[in-house]
Amino acid sequence: MRVLILNGPNLNLLGTREPDTYGTATLADLEHDLRAYFPNIQFRFEQSNHEGRLIDVLHEERGADGIVFNAAAYTHTSIALRDAIAAIEAPVIEVHLSNVHARESFRHHSMIASVCQGVIAGLGMTGYRLATEALQALQQSEQGGNQS
């Protein structure tokens, strides 16, 4: 199974950026933890502060078995990312470290949620693991596996 973990703007600062909101774990910690928890998954980890680069990576990975995507602030503003997700075959799960619905009102609407398989918010780094597990379940379901 091939899974892309894609992170948007400012997430390169995890560990030092607003630790009360985002925690103290870094993207390197996330990569280490996911590789250890899912040794049989082939991961690609990408982060960019640039919307166009995020779109390019989505296009490059359109044939992946799944994508876990934290679009960060672009979640609330980017029709271009929404259209890129809609244009690819890979299932995408939207993830947010913080509970965006308990924050500023401008964070309550996601431009990308309607084209994603699901949304996980507010569970910190655990959200990425849960999203990866959901992608595994989707793949099993598509292959005629466990339907529960």
* Phi, psi angles (nearest 5°) of residue 130: -65, -40
**83 among the known binding-site residues?**
yes
SS (H, E, C) 63-107: CCCEEEEECHHHHHCCHHHHHHHHCCCCCEEEEECCCHHHCCHHH
Structure tokens at 38: 């899912």
**78 among the known binding-site residues?**
no
Residue reference for tokens 């299932």: 91
**98 among the known binding-site residues?**
yes
Give the catalytic positions in this structure. Answer: 22, 96
**53 among the known binding-site residues?**
no
Per the annotation, binding residues for substrate are: 70, 76, 83, 97-98, 107
Per the annotation, binding residues are: 70, 76, 83, 97-98, 107
